[in-house]
Amino acid sequence: MVVGIVAGFFLVSRIEDARWLTREEKDALSAAVARDEEARSRAPKVSRIRLILHPQVAVLTAVFFAMALTGYAITFWLPSLVDDIGGLSPFQVGLLSAIPWICAVIAMYSMAHFTDRARDRRPYLAAALVLSATGTYLATLGSPWFGLAAITLAAVGGKCAATLFWPMAQSGLDLKIAAPGLAVVNSIGNLGGFVSPTLFGYLKDSTGSTNGGLYTLSAASVLAVIGVALIRRSGGGTETGSGSGSDGPALVKGQVATGEAR
């Protein structure tokens, strides 16, 4: 709670307030945003039904839904998985449960920094989802300590996938549907946050083991990899900026988009 309150004094809402950007970068990014807004204002309206059924919106929603399944299941069930180690106090369970997320924070920042100049993030997103699927599958094997290490891999893969997904979602949609399209992806995709813990708990109660739930998460991540191949590389905007072809504005927009996703 304290971190959240303090963060409110440091997070910024306007390009002009971003102290980590140079004047040239601020001007380039402001110009790119202005061009996007002008193009969006001239675009025809799209009905809600057509928006939901839009192929790219549907693919992005399916991929994000699969990602949410893994993310929320690990978040809610990790303490129970750690408690299976045995002989741990609640405080020790809490400390060990923090390990996957500490590793994920480091990996998220490193992945975002590494892929900022990438013209196509799809291979990296696919690799992150494969890592997530591998981690959840390996968690069904070996001892609980081995399972904790495997879940750490899954958490790293899932969180890295999130930093890669949102810039791709932004660039993969035409300008005329980008804003409402992203809202649909986020709203429907986040339903995975309800489905995943509920399904995981049902499978655990039915089988007496968490393996069934972990297998389901692995399968969801594998299906998401297939969906990644269907995501369009660029739409009305581009994944590397406003289409000017220069590395400067491209890098700026990639960094801001990645930061917002985080």
Model confidence band, residue 260 (pLDDT cutoffs 50, 70, 90): very low
pLDDT tens across 105-149, in order? 999 999 888 888 878 888 999 999 999 999 989 988 888 888 889
DSSP 86: -
Of the candidate ranges 87-91, 157-161, 257-261, the one whose mean pLDDT is the lowest: 257-261
Give the type of residue at 259: G
Share the mean pLDDT of the chain.
82
Phi-psi region of 143 (alpha: psi -120 to 50; beta: other; left: phi over 0): beta
Cα dist from 157 to 63, 104, 162, 232, whole Å: 14, 8, 9, 22
- Checking if the pLDDT of 262 tops 80, the result is no
Q: What is the rounded average pLDDT of the residues 233-255?
A: 40
> Helices 122-138 and 55-83 meet at what angle, rounded to 10?
30
Nearest to 192 by CA among 66, 59, 53: 66
pLDDT value, residue 235: 45
What are the two backbone dihedrals, phi and then psi, of residue 37, each rounded to the nearest 5 degrees? -65, -40
pLDDT tens across 5-37, in order? 999 888 888 999 898 899 999 999 999 989 878
Model confidence band, residue 44 (pLDDT cutoffs 50, 70, 90): low
- Is there a contact between 257 and 36 (Cβ–Cβ < 8 Å)? no
DSSP 238: B
pLDDT value, residue 254: 42
pLDDT tens across 45-101, in order? 777 777 778 888 889 999 999 999 888 888 888 888 888 888 888 899 999 999 999
Q: What is the rounded average pLDDT of the residues 190-198?
A: 87
**Which two tokens mark 235?**
């739409």
